[in-house]
Amino acid sequence: MNKPLYKTVQNIDRNKTVKPGVWKCCCSGEKTLLIVRSVDLLKSKDGQNRLEHHTDAYFSDKLIVRRGQTFQMWVEFSRPFNPKSDKLQLLLKLGERATSNPGIRISVPLVDVLEDGRWEMKIVEQKDKRVRLAVNTLPTASIGRYRVTVESFSQRGRLLFPCTPNDIYMLFNPWCEDDPVFLDNEAERKEYVLNSMGRIYYGTEQQIGARTWNFAQFEQDILEACLFLLEKGQVAMTEWRDPVIVSRMVSALVNSNDDRGVLMGNWSDSFEGGTTPTTWSGSGDILRKYYKSSGKPVKFGQCWVYAGVTTSVLRCLGIPTRCVTNFSSAHDTDLSLTTDIYLDEKLELIKDETSDSVWNFHVWNECWMTRQDLPAGNGGWQVVDATPQELSQGSYRCGPTPVSAVRNGQVDLKFDTPFVFAEVNSDRIYWQKKPDGSLSQVHVEKNSIGQHISTKAVGSDARVDITHLYKYPEGSEEERIAVETASRFGSKPTLYPSPTVNDVSIEIVMDGAGPRIGGDAKLSIVLKNTSSKQRTASLLYEVMVMYYTGVLKDTVKKDRIPIDLKPQETKTIPWTLQYNEYMNHLVDQGALMLTVTGRVNQTKQILATQLNFRLRTPDLIITPLEDAVVGKELTVKITIQNPLSQVLKNVLFRIEGLGMQSVRMIEHGDVEKLATVTLMEKFVPTISGSQKLLASMDCRQLTQVHGFADIVVKPE
């Protein structure tokens, strides 16, 4: 609880700012001033704020909240707050007054009704001179430590009440659907955000070892250390709202190579003056040492230590993160997307020319987020690697790299996709150098790189193999297509045979407005052979459920289609996804992504296409049953049919427009499968002319259901 001190004020103007000082007033109008006596941020660990925001585990006694979520606070005044004549707002400041990083200043106004997606607050309780405020934060607010000032307005003037040292710590929010780091599985949130103990795998692909690691993200000084680290990143605080930028910044700051970050690497046999990397068992001591030394790099780290510390920092800031180990991990140094080994005429290794290497194991991180900066389907798990291996845009950092792009060989997508692809799926190629200096391939290993990619299971210490997320089965046509697609962007683009001709085209066609939810989705795959010869191929199709944010969820169906095209033939292949195949995979505002790939047998041409489509929801039908006249009761019929073969739970209708001052809410309850709902609602128009009546249905099983009617209201 803070006690203010106010300056002497005379002839107070309502637009004049009165700064803290000593308050002395002899005028009879003292009671008209609204003075803030104290502020209680309700920051106790077992209180409502910390529990609801899943921040009760943090050691800190500060108010720690997650963005996009409401928190509460008490303000005590010198007299009762009068909503008619008094005003109130919060001023939040992120960062110090510095020209290099000027910080952010936010005004939070007092409103009657809170709306999502806005900085706002409302009074939810008033007791004598105290009011309890519910404060709404943006789901895209910059994270960090905000300084808080309460600003009060009355007829006699404006007063500022700084709440120092009661700062508010704002974090990313995986529980908030509008936050890019939203993760819809509670067990995964507990594992990848709240779990402070993990497992890191090491060894060889034949002998996989595991060690337990204490991420310590909630321990004393760790949150402060993580924010101290961000401040060293030389990135504008306005960018601290974006998990893509923050995770990329952290991948650079956890190593000390070019920015005096947390850990100094050491792969020698001598660790004098520091700690042997294998000795560390957690991140807490490392981050505290770094923070308390004002940014002196800690000695020493290797890949698993970098990954452990990165997990700690990102989980502490609220980004879902896990450690991932890749066995037989390649290090591509020349962007060829191959692991190249050079031999002399006697087939002996040419050491000074063989710069690529294969590590027994390498540990990096994956963090979960949407990627609005990339094509749909590339959200979800992203590789972030703090181990300094190669420069990325001038700094030793790597990622975030979409795992889905690595799997498909789409190495043209940012960030650092070629490097990660080579780590998990490059061919190991042996070259022999001839006397004239030319090179010839003498051996190729296509399935030795990237083995048993592993991470800890959700809710247990078991090891989970996630190799299938990074690449198709070794040797499969899809895996080979990914390798050859990636190689086109490397420094040796002609390494793999190019197709002799490209004479077959492929596209996915959707009829009309597309399929409706609750029915079968029917599309067509159209292939066209423009050559005078027969063409054959085997197409693989895979349809996946995708959130509206571009994050892929589940594979619904996959299969192969044999293709035989006659000369100059155009063939249309019907493709159907039945309702019973997708009904259990639907997600809120979800879409489907159909991917078709294959290779023409005669020419080796790669065929690939993709279509994102949504399942259209039914409209609410709004029908006025008589003419609309000002002052006369109007009956309107609203109908909707449940298109699903499942019950809709807790259906809520919202109706607004037609001159109504507020939204009408109708709690309807459950709607049986395939049932039709009819509402008969009565309205009394108050304004003549052309009006709109809007209606929407709120239901978890069926979203984006709405409708409207144009209604001309006649005068009395």
In Å, what is the CA distance from 261 to each residue of 324, 353, 401? Answer: 22, 32, 21
Tell me the C-alpha distance between 385 and 420, whole Å. Answer: 9
- SS3 of 629, please? strand
DSSP calls for 503-561: -EEEEEEE-TT-PBTTS-EEEEEEEEE-SSS-EEEEEEEEEEEE-TTS-EEEEEEEEEE
Question: Which residues are registered as beta bridge partners of 568?
Answer: none
77, two tokens: 């005044």
Q: Is 101 annotated as a binding residue?
A: no
Q: Catalytic pick from 179, 385, 416, 503?
A: 385
Tell me the C-alpha distance between 449 and 431, whole Å. Answer: 17
* Burial category of 125 from C-beta neighbours within 10 Å (exposed 0-12, middle 13-18, buried 19 and up): exposed
Closest CA to 505 of 417, 584, 569, 588: 569
Backbone angles phi, psi at 617, to 5 degrees: -95, 155
Q: Is 479 annotated as a binding residue?
A: yes
Q: Does residue 585 carry a catalytic annotation?
A: no
**For the chain, the helix, strand and coil percentages under 3-state DSSP, each to the nearest 5:** 15, 40, 45
Tell me the C-alpha distance between 562 and 573, whole Å. Answer: 11
Backbone angles phi, psi at 312, to 5 degrees: -60, -45
Tell me the C-alpha distance between 637 and 618, whole Å. Answer: 16
Specify the residue for token string 């700012």.
Answer: 17
In Å, what is the CA distance from 440 to each residue of 339, 433, 446? Answer: 15, 7, 17
* Burial category of 163 from C-beta neighbours within 10 Å (exposed 0-12, middle 13-18, buried 19 and up): buried
Tell me the C-alpha distance between 654 and 340, whole Å. Answer: 63
Contacts of 346 (CB under 8 A, 6+ apart): none
DSSP annotation of 240: G
Q: Is 257 annotated as a binding residue?
A: no
DSSP annotation of 6: B
Cβ pair 194, 50 in contact under 8 A: no
Q: Catalytic pick from 163, 176, 303, 316?
A: 303
Cβ pair 92, 85 in contact under 8 A: no
Contacts of 685 (CB under 8 A, 6+ apart): 628, 629, 630, 631, 632, 634, 658, 659, 691, 711, 713
Tell me the C-alpha distance between 51 and 467, whole Å. Answer: 37
Give the other-Cβ count within 10 Å of 145's Cβ: 18
Cβ pair 405, 382 in contact under 8 A: no
Tell me the C-alpha distance between 256 and 262, whole Å. Answer: 6
Bond from prior residue into 153 cis (ω within 30 degrees of 0): no
Give the other-Cβ count within 10 Å of 471's Cβ: 24
Q: Is 427 annotated as a binding residue?
A: yes
Contacts of 247 (CB under 8 A, 6+ apart): 314, 319, 367, 369, 382, 384, 399, 400
323, two tokens: 């450690």
- E-state strands within 68-119: 71-77, 87-94, 104-109
Q: Does residue 116 carry a catalytic annotation?
A: no
Question: Which residues are registered as beta bridge partners of 571?
Answer: 527
Q: Does residue 468 carry a catalytic annotation?
A: no
Known binding-site residues for Ca(2+) equal 425, 427, 474, 479
Cite the active site residues.
303, 362, 385
Known binding-site residues equal 425, 427, 474, 479
